[in-house]
Amino acid sequence: MPSIDVYNVEGKKVSKVDLKEEIFGIEPNEAVVHSVLVNYLANQRQGTQSTKTRAEVRGGGRKPWKQKGTGRARQGSIRAPQWIKGGIALGPKPRSYKYRVNKKERQLAIRSLLSSKVLENDLVVVDKFDFKEIKTKQMANAMKNLKVEEKALIVLPANNEVVQKSARNLANVTTSSVNTINVYELLKNKKLVVTVDTIKKLEEVYA
Residue 117 has pLDDT above 80, yes or no: yes
d(CA 86, CA 58): 9
**Residue 65's pLDDT is what?**
95
Kind of pairing, strands 3-7 and 123-126? parallel
d(CA 53, CA 22): 54
pLDDT in tens, 35-53: 999 999 999 999 999 999 9
Question: How does residue 91 score in pLDDT terms, banded at 50, 70 and 90?
Answer: very high
CB 170 within 8 A of CB 139: yes
For the entire predicted model, the pTM comes to 0.83
Residue 3 has pLDDT above 90, yes or no: no
Range in 1-5, 28-32, 85-89 the model is least confident about: 1-5
First-last CA distance in the chain: 14
Among 201, 130, 138, which Cα is nearest to 173's? 138
What average pLDDT score do residues 172-198 get? Answer: 94
Residue 1 has pLDDT above 80, yes or no: no
Residue 146 has pLDDT above 90, yes or no: yes
> What CATH class does 3-45+99-205 carry?
alpha beta
**Residue 125's pLDDT is what?**
95
Question: How does residue 130 score in pLDDT terms, banded at 50, 70 and 90?
Answer: confident
**Residue 35's pLDDT is what?**
96
**Residue 72's pLDDT is what?**
95
What average pLDDT score do residues 68-84 get? Answer: 95
d(CA 110, CA 122): 15
Kind of pairing, strands 173-177 and 13-18? unpaired
Q: Where are the beta strands (DSSP E) in 38-151?
A: 123-126
Numbered ranges of CATH 3.40.1370.10 in the chain: 3-45+99-205
Q: Which residues pair with 153 in a beta bridge?
A: 174, 192
Question: How does residue 2 score in pLDDT terms, banded at 50, 70 and 90?
Answer: confident
CB 61 within 8 A of CB 97: no
**Residue 207's pLDDT is what?**
77
